């Protein structure tokens, strides 16, 4: 059973607000990821981390930022939310070695709506 | 340019019959492939994977077939059950690329009718 948590599950917020989406995992995984997904579309990688103090931008350009101060915690921050940020945000983690590192465990997601 | 394509947005089958979900890829460097299942309001869950050194991998009712020359893989579910109704995502990765980044398709919504 995968233990990866995201809060909040749903968020409706006004333009210009600063928001932080939380993601935590209790599996001790070194690798963590943030994806953005619009309905009917593929998941796009926006950030990833291979360990504490390691963060990289993903394939899809994003105005968000991430931090990895603790292994279990990988929050995503939007400094000034805009309607174009409306989407579902999915956090994932994976173990560090071999082909099992490709088997990512996903949280339930945060559905963000910016009005 | 989409590197992983699932050309059927939806598929409907009868309970007990076979479900076949298809996926095509364009990047010849991809050598590890995964299928994920996603229920509404939940995150995707890993279902089954296959390395390019194999052409088939089986796990219970789920079998994935890989045709490298055609850059095509398929997921077979036999027999299909109503609980299999979900969106299925195909994902691919280049294990020699130095990262474990996955490239996802857009998904196929499977409906299994009782």
Query: pLDDT tens across A78-106, in order?
Result: 999 999 999 999 999 998 666 677 889 99
| Edge-first strand listing for the sheet containing A19-25 | A4-7, A19-25, A76-78, A65-66
Chain A hits for B105, CB-CB cut-off 8 Å, are: 42
pLDDT score for B41: 84
- Of chain A, the percentage scoring pLDDT greater than 70 comes to 94
Beta bridge partners of A20: A77
For the cut 70, the answer to whether the pLDDT of residue A2 exceeds it is no
For the cut 60, the answer to whether the pLDDT of residue A1 exceeds it is no
A12–chain B nearest CA distance, Å: 16
State whether B2 and A40 contact (CB < 8 Å): no
State whether B4 and A42 contact (CB < 8 Å): yes
Ordered per-residue pLDDT tens for chain B, 114 residues: 789 999 999 999 999 999 999 999 999 999 999 999 999 889 999 999 999 999 999 999 999 999 999 999 999 999 999 999 999 999 999 887 666 789 999 999 999 999
Confirm if B26 and B3 have CB atoms less than 8 A apart: yes
Of A6, A40, A90, the CB nearest to B106: A40
For A57-67, letters b (16+ CB in 10 Å) and e give ebeeebebebb
Alpha carbons A53 and A72: distance in angstroms, whole number: 12
Name residues whose C-beta falls within 8 Å of residue A22's C-beta, 6 or more positions apart in sequence.
A5, A6, A7, A8, A73, A75
- Closest residue of chain B to A95, computed from CA coordinates: B100
Average pLDDT, chain A: 92
pLDDT score for B96: 78
Alpha carbons B89 and B84: distance in angstroms, whole number: 13
Residues 80-99 of A with CB under 8 A from B: 90-92, 94, 99
Tell me the per-residue pLDDT of A18-35, one tens digit each, with 9 for 90 and over.
Answer: 999 999 999 999 999 999
């Amino acid at each position: 059973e995968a233990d990866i948590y995201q809060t909040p599950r749903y968020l409706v917020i006004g333009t210009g607000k600063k928001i932080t989406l939380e993601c935590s995992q209790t599996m001790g995984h070194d690798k963590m990821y943030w994806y953005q997904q619009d309905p009917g579309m593929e998941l796009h990688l926006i950030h990833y981390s291979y360990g504490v103090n390691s963060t990289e931008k993903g394939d899809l350009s994003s105005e968000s930022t991430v931090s990895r101060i603790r292994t279990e915690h990988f929050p995503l921050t939007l400094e000034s939310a805009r309607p174009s940020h409306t989407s579902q945000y999915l956090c994932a983690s994976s173990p560090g070695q071999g082909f099992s590192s490709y088997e990512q465990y996903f949280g339930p997601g945060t559905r963000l709506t910016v009005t | 340019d989409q590197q992983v394509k699932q050309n059927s947005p939806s598929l409907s089958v009868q309970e007990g019959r076979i479900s076949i979900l298809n996926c095509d890829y364009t990047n010849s460097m991809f050598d590890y492939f995964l299928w994920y299942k996603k229920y509404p309001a939940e995150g995707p869950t890993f279902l089954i994977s296959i390395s390019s050194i194999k052409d088939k991998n089986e796990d219970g009712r789920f079998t994935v077939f890989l045709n490298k020359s055609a850059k095509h893989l398929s997921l077979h579910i036999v027999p299909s059950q109503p609980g299999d109704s979900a969106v299925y995502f195909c994902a691919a990765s280049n294990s020699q690329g130095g990262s474990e980044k996955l490239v996802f398709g857009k998904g196929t919504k499977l409906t299994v009718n009782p």
